[in-house]
Amino acid sequence: MLRLWRRHPNVIIGAAMLAIAVIAAVAAPWLGTVDPQMIAPFNRLETPGAEFWFGGDLVGRDVYSRTVYGARVSLAVGLGVAIGGILFGLIVGLLSGFVRWVDQVLMRVMDGLMAIPSILLAVALISLTGASLQNVIIAISIAEVPRVARLVRSVVLSLKEQPYVEAAITSGTPFVLILLRHVLPNTLAPLLVQGTYIFASAVLTEAILSFIGAGTPPSTPSWGNIIAEGRTVFSIAPHIVLFPGLALSFTVLGVNLLGDGLRDIFDPRYVSRT
């Protein structure tokens, strides 16, 4: 642990920051919060102070409680998209890597998907399916699939050239065993690193979608929609925007540091992050 701290402090700092966000999300009801949807017109635009740590919003809801509860949406989206994106990307990537005619078709589709800015793709999907947490996760996952698929495909293609994999194939090892023994273990490390970046970018994308009104519905507090609601009164009550904004930046920074640290551990030469 001490050695990890000395050589890769980013991993520890990032993990600690992420842990704080996870604790906020899980323990939200016990962190001195009140009902985040409770309207109290008397506390409208209350400034931050002893009673309202982060102040009150346009209809007097407690910004602190809303921000703490907002962690739930962001982390759920981050985790959901990281898992969904990797799972679908893995399937597409493996298919492309092993089946040549499928490769041609799938990679052209992936090229097309990559050419569509991910926010806009998500926006189009959500406008057709309606805004809900589940649809937000699916929409952002679809936008992330091409990157994972390309990564997995490149791992598979380079593995197929390796003598030990060639040997396994020629000696008639069942395909499933080759997959489990050689391919999946080799994709694990890059996918873990990629997973943290997907997590971070999904949290940001959810916030942006909610901010422009195409994300989490207003009935659930999320950092993006708290900021969107505070937007109109920003010059008189900046706290409604700033606190969830800080929470958002803090969480994404933590995940990015964790990802950078993991990348340095697994592959010191790996420099590209796009």
Partner 1 sequence: MLGFAIRRLLATIPVMGIVAIIVFSLLYLTPGDPAAVLAGEQATAEDIERLRITLGLDQPYLVRFGQWIGGVLQGDLGTSIFSRRPVMELIVQRLEPTVALTLASLIIAVAIAIPLGVVAAWRSGGIIDRMAMSLAVLGFSVPVFVLSYLLIALVSVKLQLLPVQGYVPIAYGIGPFARHLILPAVSLGIINAALIARITRTTMLEVLNQDYIRAARAKGLSVRRVLIRHALKNAAVPIVTVIGISFALLISGVVVTETVFNIPGLGRLTVDAILRRDYPVIQGVILVFSATYVVVNLLVDLSYGLFDPRIKY
Using CB under 8 A as the binding rule, whether residue 170 contacts partner 1 is answered as no
Rule CB under 8 A: is residue 229 a binding residue for partner 1?
no
Q: How far is the CB of 60 from partner 1 (least distance, A)?
A: 21
Per CB under 8 A, 102 contacts partner 1? no
Rounded to whole angstroms, the Cα distance separating 175 from 156 reads 13
Q: Would you count residue 235 as binding partner 1 (CB under 8 A)?
A: yes
Residue 9 makes contact with partner 1 by CB under 8 A:
no
CB atoms inside a 10 Å sphere around CB 127: 11
CA distance 181 to 163: 15
Cα–Cα distance list, 272 to 25, 151, 197, 268 (Å):
32, 12, 12, 11
Interatomic CA distance for residues 174 and 209, integer angstroms: 45
Of 68 and 126, nearer to partner 1 (C-beta) is 126
Asked if 46 touches partner 1 (CB under 8 A), the answer is no
Give min distance, CB of 184 to partner 1, in A: 28
Assess 213 for contact with partner 1 (CB under 8 A): yes
Query: Any idea which residue has 């700033």 for tokens?
Result: 242
Output the smallest distance, CB 90 to partner 1, in A: 21
How buried is 8 (Cβ within 10 angstroms: 0-12 exposed, 13-18 middle, 19+ buried)?
middle
Choices 36-44, 48-56, 90-98, 266-274 (CB under 8 A): range interacting with partner 1: 266-274
Give backbone dihedrals phi and psi of 62, rounded to 5 degrees, phi first: -75, 115
If one asks whether residue 104 binds partner 1 (CB under 8 A), the answer comes out as: no
Beta-carbon contacts of residue 260 (< 8 Å; ≥ 6 apart): 10, 14
Does 177 help bind partner 1 (rule: CB under 8 A)?
A: no
Do residues 167 and 110 lie in contact, with contact meaning Cβ atoms separated by under 8 Å?
no
205 closest CA partner among 23, 81, 89: 81
For the bound state, the minimum distance from the C-beta of residue 263 to partner 1, rounded and expressed in Å, comes to 12
Is 227 an interacting residue with respect to partner 1 (CB under 8 A)? yes
Residue 91 C-beta: closest distance to partner 1, Å = 18
Is residue 214 at the binding interface for partner 1, with CB under 8 A as the rule?
yes
Q: From CA 62, how far away is CA 49, in angstroms rounded?
A: 11
User: Phi first, then psi: what are they for 56, rounded to 5°?
Assistant: -115, 160
Determine, following the binding rule CB under 8 A, whether residue 82 of this chain makes contact with partner 1.
no
Q: Does 58 bind partner 1 (CB under 8 A)?
A: no
The verdict on 50 binding partner 1 (CB under 8 A) reads no
Kindly write out the interface string for residues 108-147 of this chain, putting x where it contacts partner 1 by CB under 8 A and - elsewhere. Answer: xx-xxx-xxxxxxx-xxxxxxxx-----------------
End-to-end CA distance of the chain: give it in Å, rounded. Answer: 30
Among 5, 16, 167, 231, binds partner 1 (CB under 8 A): 231
* Binding region for partner 1 (CB under 8 A): 108-109, 111-113, 115-121, 123-130, 200, 204, 207-208, 211-214, 227, 231, 234-235, 238, 241-242, 245-246, 248-249, 252-253, 256-257, 260, 271-274
